[in-house]
Amino acid sequence: MPALIDNSLSEPSDKPLSVLAVPAFNDNYLWLIHDGRHAAVVDPGDAQPILAALDANGLTLVAILLTHHHADHVGGVQTLLRHFDIPVFGPAGEDIAGVSQTLKEGDTATVPQLGLTLSVLDVPGHTSGHIAYVAQGQPWLFCGDTLFAGGCGRLFEGSPAQMVDSLAKLSRLPSDTQVYCAHEYTVSNLRFALAVEPDNPALVARMASEQAKRKRQQATVPSTIALENATNPFLRYQQATIIASLQASGRLGDQARQADPVAAFAALREWKNNFK
């Protein structure tokens, strides 16, 4: 094993920051934020692809950022800590081994070697303590499994009301914000979206574009908040067209048309859970 690397006193580079996608497992994306010299990793579920990417790009890891406790997001942390003496940022509401700085909404995560500061949002729903990171000075959102391209995470621990509030926070971010979610689920998500809202022209165009990317073996993420607001049914669940689809499918009674947006969201999420 290589010697433990401590870069806590390294000076930041003057190069601009960029984000590198590191594929892992069947459909995960692990994200490396880097300046050509230093890097921070978001949700390293597997250490080996990260170590390989660091080596291939001549990068040294200086921080780990975690959104939630699921193994495909934290499974590589302990191995990375055997290589690098670095801070691990994670949600205050979840117990994750190795986390050295817990975060909640209103806090910031600072990575001085990158000149990077990220604001933290509480976005429970997928898990009870899930957080998201919004880069300051960069149009970047790292949202784990809360918001997906064309979809949202399953409600394993949180409630529909929590997820409604969490997604509302993200939908209000600037429209050009790039959405770095953690999975390549886009085409599958858009198939469901088209079943719910088949006459949405932006959605039809998006499906064609994303399918073309996948045929070329290209990633469909990052997305943008503008694109999600125009095409993602879990941000559009109060649209009349989606309410009508829920009612026509027998998933939502007439009385819910205006009275209970959370009921509409819950019905939509349950539909997606069982969608083939």
Q: What is the pLDDT of residues 62-107, one digit of tens each?
A: 999 999 999 999 999 999 999 999 999 999 999 999 999 999 999 9
Q: Which residue has the higher pLDDT, 139 or 258?
A: 139
Report percent pLDDT > 70 for the chain. 93
**Rounded distance between C-alpha atoms, residue 133 and residue 119, angstroms:** 6
Average pLDDT for 172-177: 98
Map tokens 């892992």 to a residue.
Answer: 24
State pLDDT tens for residues 188-197.
Answer: 999 999 999 9
**Residue 119, strand partner residues:** 108, 134
pLDDT reading at 8 higher than 90: no
| CA proximity to 127, closest of 95, 157, 170, 159 | 157
pLDDT reading at 257 higher than 60: no
pTM of the shown model:
0.93
Annotated binding-site residues read: 68, 70, 72-73, 126, 145, 183
| CA proximity to 261, closest of 171, 155, 164, 168 | 164
Catalytic residues: 68, 70, 72-73, 126, 145, 183
pLDDT reading at 7 higher than 80: no
State pLDDT tens for residues 123-133.
Answer: 999 999 999 99
Q: What is 70-107 written as a DSSP string? A: -HHHHTTHHHHHHHB---EEEETTS--TT--EEE-TT-
The token pair that represents 191 in the structure block: 């198939």
Annotated binding-site residues for Zn(2+) read: 68, 70, 72-73, 126, 145, 183
**Exposed e or buried b per residue across 243-263, where buried means at least 16 C-beta atoms within 10 angstroms of its C-beta:** bebbbeeebbeeebeeeeebb
Query: What is the bridge-based pairing of β-strands 88-91 and 147-148?
Result: unpaired
Q: Which run of H or E residues covers position 249?
A: none
Q: What phi and psi values does residue 146 have, to the nearest 5 degrees? A: -80, -60
**Rounded distance between C-alpha atoms, residue 275 and residue 191, angstroms:** 9
**Rounded distance between C-alpha atoms, residue 77 and residue 29, angstroms:** 15
pLDDT reading at 258 higher than 60: no
